[in-house]
Amino acid sequence: MFVAGLERIGFAAQHIWNGSARRVLAHATSGPALQQNLVAVMERKN
């Protein structure tokens, strides 16, 4: 499940790189009780 979340973080980064978004939020989680979390907020600066 964590790999799918990391893929979503990559998709969010693509929105920053291609200019379709200024700020994005992405989340990945793993573990038996989903106790391992990674939250990424990325922002493009002009």
Residue 17 one-letter amino acid? W
Count of other CB atoms within 10 angstroms of residue 43: 10
Query: How many CB atoms sit inside 10 A of residue 28's CB?
Result: 18
Q: Are 1 and 30 in contact (CB under 8 A)?
A: yes
How many angstroms separate the CA atoms of 27 and 37, rounded? 7
Hey, where are the domains in the chain?
2-43
Q: Which residues share a beta bridge with 4?
A: none
Query: What per-residue confidence (pLDDT) applies to 34?
Result: 79
Q: Check residue 1 and give its pLDDT.
A: 58
pLDDT per residue as tens digits for the range 1-46: 578 888 999 999 999 999 999 999 999 888 888 788 999 999 999 7
| Distance separating alpha carbons of residues 20 and 5, to the nearest angstrom | 20
- Looking at residue 2, its pLDDT comes to 73
* pLDDT for res 21: 97
Residue-level pLDDT at 6: 87
Write down the pTM of the prediction. 0.76
